[in-house]
Amino acid sequence: MSDYNVIAGLKIKYLSADPSNPEDGQVWYNSASGNLRVSNVESPSGAGAWASGGSLPAVNNGGAGAGSQTAALGFGSRTGPQASATYEYNGSSWTSGGALNNPQGNNNGAGTQTAGLSFGGGPSGSATNKTEEYDGSSWTNVNNMGFTKTLAAGAGTQTSALCATGYSNGTKAQDYDGTNWTTISDVGTSRYNIGAAAGTNTAFVMFGGNSGSTATEEWNGSAWSNGGAMNTGRSMYNGGTGTQTSALAIAGDGPGNPDSNKVEQYDGSSWSDVASLATGRRSIFAGSSSTTAGIAMGGRVGGSDQSITEEWTVPQATGTGTISVD
């Protein structure tokens, strides 16, 4: 991609056709189509697929995830000494990071590898309101949630997160602004074991839940509404990535479908099946705000915790695209 020095001074030209050899990042107006156009735009060029990544340093289930496919963060666990552990991923291998101050399992995660957020969960199946922020090397206790939460839905960034539902206070929801948690409207349906969500505190989506729920609910910053139902009901999973209009629901456990490898993609209104995980499991944790480059790690198969990492990639092609102007 050209830097500013290459494209500086190039004006938005008024052209009757797309130029044959535009500079990377160049913008022009195509008078024939009536569109603003830009060069070097990535778009999907094929179906997504899962591939094996580097194994976690230790088996883990029921922790939380954040970050991206090449800079992921995993922290907490339902079992063992991993309840306070933090692991960092560089796209090929995991290393240990700073330990949580409060050992957690069934917690939620948000943010990036260098600006992470852990909230809710608790040791040995209990529920807490603890919140911690990660700076890339250590965790700091910050203001607690107003409600205890475990097995809840949560997502967002370190300065814009949301937590809803859960085994405790199942209809309650709160958002986080980087300093304080604020109570928002109750969700429509109380449920737990949901653990999968995507988006921010103004554009949030959560899906699934106990008893193999197929329900989807969306938050627009002021109200909850129902979204399209998943094709496969599932619970006991933390596998949600993406945004409110482009999310992945990964693995889980549902009626007649234990330790599922099923993956579905949401487009803001409906779900469609996409390529399955190589290893079906529940209680995974996932990272990434992208549905073209995601990551799913850990989990449980039967009675055994896992150290598996799988990476989701949708191939991309570079070409010329249209700029939407509202």
How far is it, in rounded angstroms, from Cα 44 to Cα 49?
Answer: 12
Asked if 121 and 101 count as a contact pair (C-beta separation under 8 A), the reply is: no
C-alpha pair distances (Å), 311 with each of 6, 160, 233, 250, 297 = 35, 25, 23, 12, 9
Q: Which phi and psi (to 5°) does residue 7 adopt? A: -100, -5
The type of residue at 3 is D
CA distance 134 to 73: 10
Side chain identity at 154, as an amino acid letter?
Answer: G
Query: Looking at the chain, which residues constitute the CATH 2.120.10.80 domain(s)?
Result: 49-313
Q: What fold does the segment set 49-313 form as a domain? A: Neuraminidase (2.120.10)
Q: Residue 7: its pLDDT value, please?
A: 44
- Position 128 scores a pLDDT of 94
User: For residue 139, what is the enclosing H or E element?
Assistant: strand 139-141
The residues, any chain, with a CB within 8 Å of residue 4's CB and separated by 6 or more, are: none
**Using CA atoms, how far apart are residues 253 and 326, in angstroms rounded to an integer?**
42
Query: Is there a contact between 118 and 75 (Cβ–Cβ < 8 Å)?
Result: yes
Q: What are phi and psi of 107, to 5 degrees?
A: -90, 175
- Report the distance separating Cα 14 and Cα 319, nearest Å: 20
Return the C-alpha torsion angle 23, 25, 29, 35, nearest 10. 130
Output the CA torsion 152→286→57→157 (10° steps).
-80
Tokens of 255: 């009626």
d(CA 22, CA 258): 52
**pLDDT (tens place) for every residue of the chain, 326 residues total:** 444 444 455 567 888 888 877 776 778 888 888 888 876 655 666 789 999 999 999 999 999 999 999 999 999 998 878 899 999 999 999 999 999 999 999 999 999 999 999 999 987 668 999 999 999 999 999 999 999 999 999 999 999 999 999 998 999 999 999 999 999 999 998 999 987 788 889 999 999 999 889 999 999 999 999 999 999 998 877 688 899 999 999 999 877 778 899 999 999 999 999 999 999 999 998 887 788 899 999 999 998 999 999 999 998 766 666 666 55
pLDDT at 1: 44
What would the DSSP string read from start to end of 156-174?
A: EETTEEEEE--SSSTT-EE
DSSP string for 42-66: EEE-S--EEEE-PPPSS-B-S-EEE
Which structure tokens are listed for 287?
A: 């990272």
Closest CA to 196 of 99, 324, 284: 284
Q: Report pLDDT for 225.
A: 96
pLDDT for position 4: 40
Q: What is the dihedral of CA 160, 310, 306, 140, to 10 degrees?
A: -30
